[in-house]
Structure 1
């Protein structure tokens, strides 16, 4: 029966740990900083390689018959939309005697409403003179089209009013004829009919006069609108600055590169699920973090602190190795060089008590093939035999592809040297389970390349900080009893089904 080693999130745990996400993104600052620098360089290069085409700008004052003080800009937006039509583009091209298609010309210009009555037109061309000529033709075409629409609207309104007047004049003529025919009649009924006809004639005469006045007013208002629509700013070429354009494009590229880089780093951190906080690494390995060391020497002002931390770690490991008769090993995950240096320091510290041999179990025998310095302990290959009277310090790896059954020959007690953010949470669980199966006790975790702003606690307070099953079996054997231990289990062991534990 197989048991999954993938960690199961708690029911109350958030889907994304924001603190771990921020730390993971900050650790990948090389990625998003490189993306930002790349965007900056690409933006500046585009400004130099693809300079802005010659551009001309003109402004047109547009008068509307429906102008209102509280207009939200609907009328000027309509004018901008009308500017982007093939009719106006075609009229401008005809005035330029150009064979270019209106659809292609529409891609070279744009309009924007500065106010409710002021329209700005921007046109590009092959040269400054060409851009100015195209802007002038386009502005003239727009003004002519706008004037034509105003005249057509005024004429249509006046014609409708005059048609109404003519219809009423025809009706008035019929009323006058009826009055003339009935004036010779006498009697009470004839008098009443004549009074009604006279009243109707007076009403028609008044309405005819009203329609005539309204038609005249409609035509009188048109010249004001025609005079109000005009080009107020002649086309002028825009003088572009290459340094300014390069700086603008570089700033835009920098921002876009940073945003893209941060997005990629965040998504990659969530998908990879590589713990970087000491709290998460300790919880996934089931062992406490005993110290932290930088990946390399670190900055100049931190080297003294790093050297002190390495000396303390060496003293602590030497004390542990002297207090046990079992061989001690150092198992690395993503930091073979740091692990080798720690092993050599430990061997030198133990060399005063007697002969010490460092057993190299790293892939490729990196440690055994190194150039030895005077005073260094003996380094042997993992397959070499070591005398029983000589103390052994094993150095191995728990990276993917490790031969787990060989780790117990390096040492039954081990210190895990793990680089922060190197292994996924699932793999850390696998390491803890495999070491427990091999009955290898984990003394603690040495964290390499930790986040300097990490303030989480790497000590497991709710249980033993070792691989619990291996330690429990060893304690039972040393006590001479086979009774099972009833200690609390770490988070990954608590999820193993009872049937699987019985099978083991």
Structure 2
């Protein structure tokens, strides 16, 4: 068989096909759905098995001496940091008369700045009563510490201003004495010095008055801070609703599980590189997709299948039956990931051909499920592959085999001179599909079509190999071949141009 060349695509294939990735992730909905469900159950279980400890909350209005309308929250963040110090914790423990260490107590509460002047204190305890008592002790300790710090700061500022005023007064006394010691003279130089002393005295009097006013303002501002800093929301226990907590945790677990599941599915899809779309399977196998069928569940019966599915199977049976009738040599069905579906399809085709003469199905599938199945009177005969030599020559042969890993490639030619591949979407990797196409080409077994099992229902890609018309079911032509039922390999086959089978994943893409 000679190998022809096909035109390379004009546009470069992207490194990651988002369409194929989305389709593959959607096909793995069992994985990410299970992970999302597991996250939901774990979230609900955490809420039930690990309920939050009893807690209490209190709100404190904090007034600062340096409050500004454009403050960015620096002062309240400082208050939050001060709340988490051992000094505040120790004062609260002293009020509670608790022997607990301040370092351990600090782990049971936290502060949050709601606004520039509103501080919220959250405390946990063994019981609601203990949590409320702790919150009250902490709030009172913080208010007392804040008032003390503001009072000490105001007193220190007032003392510094008064000390500066006293120094100015001493200097003023010296200036007054200097003025009193001067005698009235008409000397211009003496008059200028006297004017300088008078100016200095006026400046000192002004600065002394200013320091007096600033010291008074500092002392006056402290009562406002003391009166304004207070507990505005009395400590109270926080009620915990188990249903609400379980629902919240379940939703969080569901979202996290869904994200993790989708991530795992996406990574697994990229790593596995298993084609799902029709165009990918066609490009990798070098043959057109001629039909698509849903997978056949083991529990399903014919009456329970949807009407559309039954109609699709009937059309596929008729198509394959016509292909077998029109072929000058036996036709085989080779499966990849769908042995049971392939066996059912083969039996349906054999039954359709049984009315025209004896039909023998050669079972080359792994296991003996097809050969051991119950055979209907007047229906097709099913024999194992090792018994194929005993098949009468006048009987029509229909081979059924597998191209899964471990296949004996040289035995496939005894199942049929032409083949129809029955492939489950997303089962085989791109590398293995290349291997199947290359091995069949080496065995000189043309692939006349691909039946896709369990395809993606939203796949709108083209599954036709336009440069493979000589092997397509829509345009197959007669070729010299061996007789039906001989079971002997062909001695020579005319050379023909076949679709190029890529040697690697990159070449196929």
TM normalised by structure 2 equals: 0.87
What do residues 132-182 of structure 1 show as CA deviations (whole Å, max 9, x unaligned)?
Answer: 011111111221222222223222322222222122222223223333443
SS at match of 1:417: strand
SS at match of 1:212: helix
What do residues 20-70 of structure 1 show as CA deviations (whole Å, max 9, x unaligned)?
Answer: 112111111111111122111111111111111111111101112232333
Measure, in 2, the Cα distance between the counterparts of 1:262 and 1:434.
Answer: 36
Aligned pair in 2 of structure 1 residues 466, 323: CA closer, same or farther (>3 Å)? closer
1:60-459 correspondence runs (5 A): 60-183=60-183, 189-296=189-296, 303-384=306-387, 385=389, 386-459=391-464
The answer on 1:42 being equivalent to 2:42 is yes
Of residues 186-195 and 226-235 in structure 1, the stretch that sits farther from structure 2 once superposed is 186-195
Measure, in 2, the Cα distance between the counterparts of 1:494 and 1:241.
Answer: 56
Measure, in 2, the Cα distance between the counterparts of 1:77 and 1:111.
Answer: 9
Measure, in 2, the Cα distance between the counterparts of 1:475 and 1:102.
Answer: 96
Task: Provide the residue aligned with 1:13 in structure 2.
Answer: 13
SS at match of 2:276: coil
What do residues 370-398 of structure 1 show as CA deviations (whole Å, max 9, x unaligned)?
Answer: 34344442211111122333222111111
Measure, in 1, the Cα distance between the counterparts of 2:328 and 2:275.
Answer: 34
Task: Provide the residue aligned with 1:3 in structure 2.
Answer: none
Contact 2:419 2:446 survives alignment (8 Å) = yes
Measure, in 2, the Cα distance between the counterparts of 1:40 and 1:53.
Answer: 22
SS at match of 1:13: coil
* Number of equivalent positions: 483
Offset of residue 491 of structure 1: 5.2
RMSD, matched Cα: 3.0
Task: Provide the residue aligned with 1:502 in structure 2.
Answer: none
Measure, in 1, the Cα distance between the counterparts of 2:54 and 2:506.
Answer: 70
What do residues 428-483 of structure 1 show as CA deviations (whole Å, max 9, x unaligned)?
Answer: 1111111111111101011111111222221122444759xxx99x7899xx9999
What do residues 240-289 of structure 1 show as CA deviations (whole Å, max 9, x unaligned)?
Answer: 11111111111111111112111111221122111111121111111111
Contact 2:364 2:400 survives alignment (8 Å) = yes
SS at match of 1:383: helix
Contact 1:286 1:466 survives alignment (8 Å) = no
Task: Provide the residue aligned with 1:26 in structure 2.
Answer: 26
Offset of residue 301 of structure 1: 8.3
Measure, in 2, the Cα distance between the counterparts of 1:371 and 1:318.
Answer: 22
Contact 1:63 1:117 survives alignment (8 Å) = yes
Measure, in 1, the Cα distance between the counterparts of 2:105 and 2:363.
Answer: 74
Task: Provide the residue aligned with 1:500 in structure 2.
Answer: none
Offset of residue 88 of structure 1: 2.2
**Where do 5+ consecutive residues of structure 1 fail to align?**
1-7, 497-504
Contact 1:59 1:234 survives alignment (8 Å) = yes
Aligned pair in 2 of structure 1 residues 61, 39: CA closer, same or farther (>3 Å)? same
Measure, in 2, the Cα distance between the counterparts of 1:207 and 1:367.
Answer: 112
Measure, in 2, the Cα distance between the counterparts of 1:231 and 1:476.
Answer: 100
Offset of residue 495 of structure 1: 8.7
Measure, in 1, the Cα distance between the counterparts of 2:173 and 2:437.
Answer: 112
What do residues 43-100 of structure 1 show as CA deviations (whole Å, max 9, x unaligned)?
Answer: 1111111111111111101112232333333332332233233332233223223233
Aligned pair in 2 of structure 1 residues 10, 65: CA closer, same or farther (>3 Å)? farther
Of residues 207-216 and 63-72 in structure 1, the stretch that sits farther from structure 2 once superposed is 63-72
Measure, in 1, the Cα distance between the counterparts of 2:495 and 2:333.
Answer: 29
Measure, in 2, the Cα distance between the counterparts of 1:407 and 1:166.
Answer: 114
Aligned pair in 2 of structure 1 residues 374, 142: CA closer, same or farther (>3 Å)? farther
**Where do 5+ consecutive residues of structure 2 fail to align?**
1-7, 483-490
Offset of residue 215 of structure 1: 1.0
Contact 1:358 1:378 survives alignment (8 Å) = yes
Aligned pair in 2 of structure 1 residues 494, 96: CA closer, same or farther (>3 Å)? closer
SS at match of 1:56: strand
Measure, in 2, the Cα distance between the counterparts of 1:48 and 1:172.
Answer: 79
TM normalised by structure 1 equals: 0.88
Task: Provide the residue aligned with 1:501 in structure 2.
Answer: none
